[in-house]
Amino acid sequence: MTIPSPPDPRGARARTWATVDLDAVAHNVRAIRSVLPATTAFMAVVKADAYGHGAIPLADAALAAGASWLGVATPDEALELRDAGLRGAMLILGPTPVESVPDVIAAGCALTVSDAGAIGAIARAQSKVKPRIHIKVDTGMTRLGIAPDDLQTLLESVDPARVEVEGAYTHLACADEPDPSMTREQLDAFSRTARLVKARFPSAICHAADSAGALGWPDAAFDLVRVGIAMYGVAPAPHLAGVPLRPVMTLSSRVVRARRVTAGTPVSYGATYRARGATTIVTVPIGYGDGLPRALGNVGQMVVAGRRVPIAGRVCMDFTMLDVGEASVAEGDEVTVFGGALPATEVAAAAGTIPYELFCRVGRRVPRVYLVAARDDASGPREPNPAGIERR
């Protein structure tokens, strides 16, 4: 079985593309696991199409590197991975509509629940296998989950003959913040939660840590960690950058027009940029229709001919212009939008957002090209594999 891959960007068809390094994914999984207790399982969070990287190849790479769980947000995301042949343990982190319950149970997925009504609906679902649930507890995020004070009553209402309580979890709201007080409160509350759950369901898996919790809070490891952004090569905060991570995605494009202009020449909508002197303005075929933040207009940069150059004027839907000055640039020259010498963290900061959003915004019309090791030794050279990725 193969995972389809888009055209090789060295050909004429792909003018803008995202390169996704699957060896970097494997490196990051192993690096994060190295700082976890040996008994703590690793969940690769691949919701939102693996943060825009491509859920199927990313999940496959993470499982091969040592992840034992996959985390998704919706039933559709779960079923897409199952249909692709991915068989790791899987948890749907968001609510599951009643009509989708039978399908995801049949697919071997665990479901998140926050109240007795959801548990009852799952128990009544027509299924040949016992449903598995993870109870979400709200310890301070105030998004989803049952209040800790109501947990005991909920646990007593569960009929173990009809539903298996496989786990319980919470989500940390401030684990990436330097101030530890909120996270300490949440972990203390969840530790009490875990004791309650395990008293009634001793084999239940308790989990609280996201990437920040996994890297910065050793006592947040519990039985499982749910790793998202760190697996994609970005530290969740500057003070949590101790584990060596490798960036996974590089977004690239090509110059489609280069034009010499004189001082005062207006560029893009609204003429918000005017050339300060004689210069070269190049056009790159990527815009907000591809996910490039419009907020980067006049403040962002890209890399052309080995150096950073400014975005000139507003980002358009399909194009962005750059002022490359006196650099020798021609049509077809490669442009780095982010990655390599221009980290995604810097681009996100310039746009007033975070790398999570920057990755997720990269649109479907941008082909993903997956890199795999050219030989068994992962330290060897890598090359695009446009024909597809051989499943392990």
Q: What are the DSSP E strand ranges found in 93-231?
A: 109-113, 132-136, 164-169, 205-209, 224-227
Catalytic residue, from 169, 198, 232, 269: name it. 269
Strands 69-72 and 41-45 turn out to be parallel
Question: Looking only at Cα atoms, what is the longest distance across the chain?
Answer: 78
Does 47 qualify as catalytic in the annotation? yes
* Residue whose C-alpha is closest to residue 335's, from 348, 349, 323, 353: 323
Residues 84 and 56: beta-carbon distance below 8 Å: yes
Rounded Cα distance between 284 and 324, Å, is 12
DSSP characters for 69-94?
Answer: EEEESSHHHHHHHHHTT--SEEEE-S
Rounded Cα distance between 100 and 18, Å, is 33
Catalytic residue, from 47, 51, 356, 370: name it. 47
The number of C-alpha atoms within 13 Å of 342 and in the hemisphere containing its C-beta is 21
Does 269 qualify as catalytic in the annotation? yes
- Burial (CB < 10 A; 0-12, 13-18, 19+), residue 350, is middle
Kind and range of the H or E run holding 154: helix 151-157
Residue whose pair of structure tokens reads 């799952």 in the numeric block? 122
The two structure tokens encoding residue 158: 């569960």
* Residue whose C-alpha is closest to residue 68's, from 224, 203, 248: 224
The number of C-alpha atoms within 13 Å of 115 and in the hemisphere containing its C-beta is 5
Q: Helix, strand, or coil here: 251?
A: strand
Strands 249-254 and 334-338 turn out to be antiparallel
Catalytic residue IDs? 47, 269
